[in-house]
Amino acid sequence: MSADNRAGGTATWVYVAVAVAAVLIGLFLAPQAMRLTQGAGQDTPDSVAVVPVEGPITSSTADQISANLREVRRNDSIKAVVLDVNSPGGTVPASEALYLAVNRTTAAGIPVVASVNGQGASGAYWAMTPASRIYVTPGSIVGSVGVIGTQPAGGAAGSRIITGPDKGAGGTQAEFRDRVELLRRQFVTTVMNERGDRLELSREELSYAKVYAGAVAERNGVADEIGGIDAAIQRAAENADLENYAVTRMDAPEQPGLGLILGSQEAGRNDSGTRTVVVEQSPFDYEGVETPRYLALYGMPEQGEVRTDG
């Protein structure tokens, strides 16, 4: 009996010792196990995502880019973001929505760096201002901090009946002016707040809505550094403390009605070789209905009553 007990007691003690040893070894190996599963569900352990911001910023393209940024925030393997920008801007609502999406990404603690490849003007510049660094090439174009308002002529004519004096145009000319001024202030205030001390331009100088070549922008603080997309990726990785990382390029936004846009571009090509940018196709265009528009765009619309501010 006593021999059995002794044998059983010894066995229990040994079992406990073996289990404790297993736990200790397990804890030692746990980080490796965690890293294994971290990589298992995703392409790479750590990556820098390149999010293209290309073409005119419309509600459609802004939605697609915002979805990419949402994926960046959701995917833990993506540690940093590079905005690959080549856009003349677009509508004000789409641009400010895109700004909020980038702003939310930086607020989530994910480093964002912007790289301008070609032009990053007006609404595109607005959207990239939360980035910690803006990379430009000497010949790229940035800036154009201003807003264009286009408004149809108001009032009743012919057999049309409207229920109030401002139903057509949406308000008086003075109210239209004030609305555009509000948007200018929002844009300029955003740039001033986001760029802070790096910007060497005053509010008034910024409000001229000039575009700057990259080499000039780097000096006046509209951009930060001269460099291409690779320099921007490296900076983003450094900001995220990554030594080994992969680069994941997200899908570029698709322009809706591509055939229509290409057709318009061809039709809009004139002798001087300028190109027409289709910012937003109004859903009512086929009925000839003009709607007021507010554009954060580098370039002037061809038609419509226009008020610029800034």
Tell the smallest beta-carbon distance from residue 305 to another protein (Å): 5
DSSP states of 31-67 as a string?
HHHHHHHHHHTSSSSSEEEEEEEES-B-HHHHHHHHH
Between 57 and 102, CB nearer to another protein: 102
Residue 260 near another protein by CB under 8 A: no
| DSSP letter (8 states) at residue 253 | P
**CB burial readout 123-147, b (16+ within 10 A) else e:** bbbbbbbbbebbbbbeebbbbbbbb
Residue 181 near another protein by CB under 8 A: yes
Residue 272 near another protein by CB under 8 A: no
d(CA 66, CA 96): 11
Residue 210 near another protein by CB under 8 A: no
- Please return the burial class of 161, using the count of CB atoms within 10 Å of its CB with bins 0-12, 13-18 and 19+: exposed
Q: Looking only at residues 95 through 114 of this chain, which bind another protein when binding is defined by CB under 8 A?
A: 96, 100, 103-104, 107-108
Q: Which amino acid is at 127?
A: A
Q: Looking only at residues 61 through 90 of this chain, which bind another protein when binding is defined by CB under 8 A?
A: 70, 73-76
Instruction: Tell me if residue 308 falls in helix, strand or coil.
Output: strand
Size, binding site for another protein by CB under 8 A: 58
Q: Looking only at residues 238 through 257 of this chain, which bind another protein when binding is defined by CB under 8 A?
A: none
Residue 174 near another protein by CB under 8 A: yes
Tell the smallest beta-carbon distance from residue 226 to another protein (Å): 27
Tell the smallest beta-carbon distance from residue 289 to another protein (Å): 15
Contact 73, 271 (CB under 8 A): no
Between 29 and 162, CB nearer to another protein: 29
Residue 3 near another protein by CB under 8 A: no
Between 231 and 306, CB nearer to another protein: 306
Tell the smallest beta-carbon distance from residue 150 to another protein (Å): 10
Cβ neighbours for 216, distance < 8 A, ≥ 6 positions apart: 222
Cβ neighbours for 79, distance < 8 A, ≥ 6 positions apart: 46, 47, 48, 110, 111, 237, 240, 242, 245
- Please return the burial class of 247, using the count of CB atoms within 10 Å of its CB with bins 0-12, 13-18 and 19+: middle
Residue 34 near another protein by CB under 8 A: yes
Which residues of the chain form contacts with another protein (CB under 8 A)? Answer: 11, 14-15, 18-19, 21-23, 25-27, 29-31, 33-34, 36-38, 41, 70, 73-76, 96, 100, 103-104, 107-108, 153, 172-174, 177-178, 180-182, 185-187, 189-190, 193, 204-205, 207-208, 303-310
